[in-house]
């Protein structure tokens, strides 16, 4: 083949001594063009992977690089910073942007229907976001990266949902499920040495199957009503119990205050009686007269009294009609005559001190 190529080249080149120089010059030009074709440029979001005779040799950073031209070396520039997306359970619109929740275009029940830990069926659609972490492993250890990521994520999701109750999966356990699926799928692709990093797992839809969704929503509404009534009862209890305890404390405090006041009053009366008794034992006449005067002063202070001399004849009764109309009626008190006892009169021995009160 080389000889045939040389013969063909001689027929095209001029004859004589200039022919050898022309061949050399042409060879140099061809070699220069071939060598110059080894320059390549790697963009900022790419990583150059240089393969020598089909095997991985080295990685080229962003910028201008050089590799021995074909057929010795070949260069592939995968986009290592791009976030790729894989949908499981549905197929999104073709123009869906990574990181943005898409509108499901078609639901794939074979992927989305899963069995929960309490033996219920749940319909889950989720998306997996990933990027290239190691370009060499990504190009040479996986044939179909999208299918690998999808199979790993779906397998881990089914395993986690199989250990989770349907109520938790529908409500407060969604964030934890996403984190567990991301870690589990990452462990699987690391075992495959796929050179892939899973950045996020996003659950798009978590619902019961369409055939029983209305019944399930009725159950959810009943549970919500139960929780509402329970919360109202808790609120009422939290309001009435402290109020009742406060009322009980107030009543106990009032009873204790009344007990203390009655006890102090009784002790005061007992002390006063004792002091009167001591004074009576020393001067009975004076004590009896003082007790009588104090008693009459207390009685007369609370009543409207008219003092009439017993020697007065032809007395006409006086009725206070105006005063009775202006104020509520009071029990009629007959006129009393104040006749102080003689100073020499002695009290009866059987009369107790303070009996006038």
In whole angstroms, how far apart are CA 82 and each of 54, 142, 148, 189, 196? 25, 18, 18, 18, 12
Nearest to 161 by CA among 117, 207, 111, 205: 117
Handedness of CA 263, 267, 272, 274 (dihedral sign): positive
Overall average pLDDT of the 6-26 stretch:
64
CA neighbor of 89 nearest in space, from 44, 35, 127:
127
Q: What is the CA radius of gyration of the chain?
A: 56
What the block records as the tokens of 87 is 């949908």
Instruction: State residue 337's pLDDT score.
Output: 42
Residue 19 contacts residue 13 (beta carbons within 8 Å): yes
Tokens of 8: 């063909």
Write phi, then psi, for 225 (nearest 5 degrees). Answer: -65, -40
For 169-175, what is the mean pLDDT? 84
pLDDT at 327: 53
Q: How crowded is the C-beta side of 183, counted as CA atoms within 13 Å? A: 7
Fold that domain 84-211 belongs to in CATH:
Tetrahydropterin Synthase; Chain A (3.30.479)
In the predicted model, is pLDDT for residue 264 greater than 60? Answer: yes
More confident residue, 109 or 325: 109
Rounded to an integer, the average pLDDT of 121-135 is 88
Assigned token pair, 323: 């005063």
Q: What is the mean pLDDT of residues 28-43?
A: 74
Closest CA to 154 of 193, 116, 190, 113: 113
Of 158, 152, 156, the C-alpha closest to 190 is: 152
Summarize pLDDT for 135-157 with one digit per residue, the tens.
Answer: 878 888 888 888 999 999 999 99
CB 169 within 8 A of CB 206: yes
Per-residue pLDDT tens over the stretch 283-294: 888 888 888 888
Q: Where in the chain is the domain with CATH 3.30.479.30?
A: 84-211
Torsion angle of the four alpha carbons 285, 290, 296, 302, in this order, in degrees rounded to the nearest 10: -160
**Whether the predicted model's global pTM rises above the 0.85 cut:** no
Do 40 and 75 contact (CB within 8 A), yes or no?
yes
Which three-class secondary structure state does DSSP give residue 144? Answer: coil
Contact call for residues 195 and 135 (beta carbons, < 8 A): yes
pLDDT of 174-218, one tens digit each?
A: 889 999 999 999 999 999 888 889 999 998 888 888 777 777 778
pLDDT score of 98: 46
């Amino acid at each position: 083949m080389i000889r045939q190529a040389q013969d063909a080249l001689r027929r095209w080149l001029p004859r004589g001594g200039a022919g050898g120089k022309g061949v050399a010059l042409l060879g140099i030009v061809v070699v220069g063009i071939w060598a110059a074709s080894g320059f390549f440029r790697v963009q900022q979001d790419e990583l150059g992977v240089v393969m020598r005779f089909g095997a991985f040799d080295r990685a080229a950073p962003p910028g201008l690089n050089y590799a021995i031209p074909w057929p010795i070396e070949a260069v592939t520039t995968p986009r290592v910073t791009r976030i790729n997306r894989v949908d499981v359970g549905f197929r999104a619109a073709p123009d869906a942007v990574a990181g943005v929740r898409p509108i499901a275009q078609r639901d794939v029940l074979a992927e989305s229907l899963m069995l929960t830990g309490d033996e219920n069926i749940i319909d889950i659609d989720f998306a997996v976001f990933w990027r290239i972490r190691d370009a060499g492993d990504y190009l040479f250890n996986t044939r179909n990266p999208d299918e690998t990521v999808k199979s790993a994520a779906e397998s881990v999701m089914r395993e986690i949902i199989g250990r989770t109750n349907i109520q938790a999966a529908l409500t407060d356990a969604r964030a934890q499920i996403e984190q567990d699926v991301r870690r589990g799928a990452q462990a699987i692709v690391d075992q495959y040495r796929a050179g892939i990093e899973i950045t996020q797992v996003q659950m798009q839809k978590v619902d019961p199957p369409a055939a029983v969704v209305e019944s399930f929503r009725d159950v959810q509404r009943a549970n919500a009503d139960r929780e509402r009534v329970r919360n109202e009862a808790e609120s009422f209890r939290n309001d009435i119990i402290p109020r009742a305890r406060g009322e009980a404390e107030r009543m106990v405090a009032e009873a204790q205050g009344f007990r203390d006041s009655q006890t102090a009053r009784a002790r005061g009366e007992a002390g006063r009686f004792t002091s009167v008794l001591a004074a009576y034992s020393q001067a009975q006449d004076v004590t009896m007269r003082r007790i009588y005067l104090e008693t009459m002063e207390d009685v007369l202070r609370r009543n409207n009294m008219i003092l009439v001399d017993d020697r007065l004849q032809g007395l006409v009764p006086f009725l206070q009609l105006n005063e009775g109309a202006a104020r509520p009626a009071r029990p009629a008190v007959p006129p009393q005559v104040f006749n102080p006892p003689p100073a020499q009169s002695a009290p009866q021995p059987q009369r107790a001190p303070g009996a006038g009160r």
